[in-house]
Homo-oligomer: A and B are copies of this chain.
Amino acid sequence: VKGNFDVVTLGEAMIRLSPPRPIRLEQATTLDLNVGGSELNVAFNASRLGLSTSWVSKLPKSPLGRRIIRLANEQGVDASHVIWSDEGRAGLYFVEFGITPRTTTVTYDRKRSAMSTLRPGEVDWSFLEGVKLFHVSGITPALSDSCRETTFEAVTEASRHGCKVSLDMNYRSKLWSPKKAEKTLTKLAGLVNLLIASDPSIVWSIGGETEKVLREVKERFNVETVAMLVRQEEVATRGACGAVALSDRIYTSSRFYNLEIFDRLGAGDSFAAGLIFGYLNGDMQMAVEWGAAMAAIKHTVPGDANYVTKEEVEELVKRGELYGIQR
């Protein structure tokens, strides 16, 4: 069994089914199939930047389970700690992409997935020895009671083995209420080194100006570093994004990118991967810049995973804008 990864993540990945846009589900005669899941996305994207990564999950022994694992495999994300299960199904989600003023809607069909049956003791966490960072999002503890317990087990084990721990709040209203989320995420926030404050207003009622929010989150949970992806959406296919972070007492912010938006799903996970890349380099300015650039490019790439190259992120960070033609 392999070890010594830069980044290990824990979470569910699902089959994503979406009609060719802007067709509605009710009209659809074909669906595009992608694979996605927040923590697998983070591992995939970090791997694109050259980090060695492993993804921990539980999948059903079925064609759909094998379809899901392909996304990890093709990017060289280690999947040797994925548990193959006879119980539980493959999680699915349907995405109907809308354009203004029609909403993009996500319909989950993930109940009783194999992943939701994951329980403490099932994963042998000893391989975290030597790993630099363990990452999980607020989706994993929301999947089931046993997943919540396994999340705490994993975070505790990670700390014990000397890993840094990062958490992306990723509040999902279709999985739990703000109240339930508040209880769990508050506890988790106290255990992590790097907190991505994606939904502070819904879960902790911490709103207002960006820097203020970060300061308040940092203080309340006494986290070493907090960060946030800032998005502006003009219409469904146009917007902008940038990133901010607060580490110790230093507040850093990145360039803002003008965006044409094709697929914003997974942009937060792209931000997380870029952020972790800079964070592990010990450079928070780099962290927000790479996080913002990763997220910016993700908006242009179909699917949850970000088929970006390290070189183009580097160039975008350097030049600030890239579009046009290269020939």
Write the residues of chain A forming the contact surface with B, with a CB cutoff of 8 angstroms: 17, 22-34, 62-64, 66-67, 70, 73-76, 89-90, 92, 94, 96, 98-109, 111-112, 172-174, 233, 235-238, 257-260, 262, 264-265, 296-297, 300-303, 307, 309, 312, 316, 321-327
Give bound CA distance, A286 to B50, whole Å: 42
Partner of A259, one of B66, B67, B100, B262: B100
Q: Using Cβ atoms and an 8 Å threshold, which residues of chain B touch A33?
A: 28-31
Distance in Å: Cβ of A167 to nearest Cβ of chain B: 19
Contact at A70–B297, with CB atoms within 8 Å?
no
Is B112 a contact partner of A300 (Cβ separation < 8 A)? no
List 13 A-B residue pairs with CB atoms under 8 Å apart, sorted by A's residue number.
A17-B17, A28-B33, A29-B29, A63-B94, A64-B94, A66-B309, A99-B262, A101-B296, A104-B323, A104-B326, A106-B325, A106-B326, A265-B325
Question: B302 near A100 (CB under 8 angstroms)?
Answer: no
* Bound-complex Cα distance A263 to B85 (A): 32
What separation, in Å, do the CA atoms of A259 and B237 have in the docked complex? 11
| Minimum C-beta distance from A122 to chain B (A) | 22
Residue of A29, A107, A233 most packed against chain B (CB within 10 A): A29
In the complex, residue of chain B having the shortest beta-carbon distance to the beta carbon of A174: B327
Q: Assess the A62–B107 pair: CB atoms within 8 A.
A: yes
Inter-chain contact B109/A89, CB cutoff 8 Å: yes
Contact check, A102 vs B29: say whether CB atoms are below 8 A apart: no
User: Shortest CB–CB separation between residue A27 and chain B, in angstroms?
Assistant: 5
A100 touches B301 (CB 8 A): no
The chain B residue sitting closest to A104, CB to CB, is B325
- Contact yes or no, A323 B102, CB < 8 A: yes
Report the minimal beta-carbon distance from A303 to chain B, rounded to whole angstroms.
Answer: 7
A274 vs B302: C-alpha distance when bound (angstroms): 35
- With most chain B CB atoms within 10 A of its CB, the pick from A26, A233, A322 is A26
Given contacts A28-B33, A66-B26, contact A323 B74 (CB under 8 A): no
Q: In whole angstroms, what is the CA distance A283 to B109 when docked? A: 40
**Complex: A69 Cα to B106 Cα, angstroms:** 20
Which residues in B have their C-beta under 8 angstroms from that of A107? Answer: 62-64
Closest chain-B Cβ to A299's Cβ sits at a distance in Å of 8
Closest 6 CB pairs of A and B: A106-B327, A74-B74, A25-B63, A99-B260, A102-B300, A100-B323
Q: Please tell me if the beta carbons of A260 and B112 are within 8 angstroms of each other in the complex.
A: no
Once the chains are docked, how many angstroms separate the CA of A296 from the CA of B302?
Answer: 26
B103 A322 Cβ-Cβ under 8 A: yes
Closest to A172 in B: B327
Q: Which residues of B contact A27 (CB under 8 A)?
A: 301-303, 307
B26 touching A29, Cβ below 8 Å = no
Contact (A101, B325) CB under 8 Å given A92-B92, A96-B63: no
Chain B residue with Cβ nearest A175:
B327
Docked pose: A235 CA to B32 CA in angstroms:
27
Bound CA span A284–B23, Å: 31
A30 to B31, Cβ gap below 8 A? yes
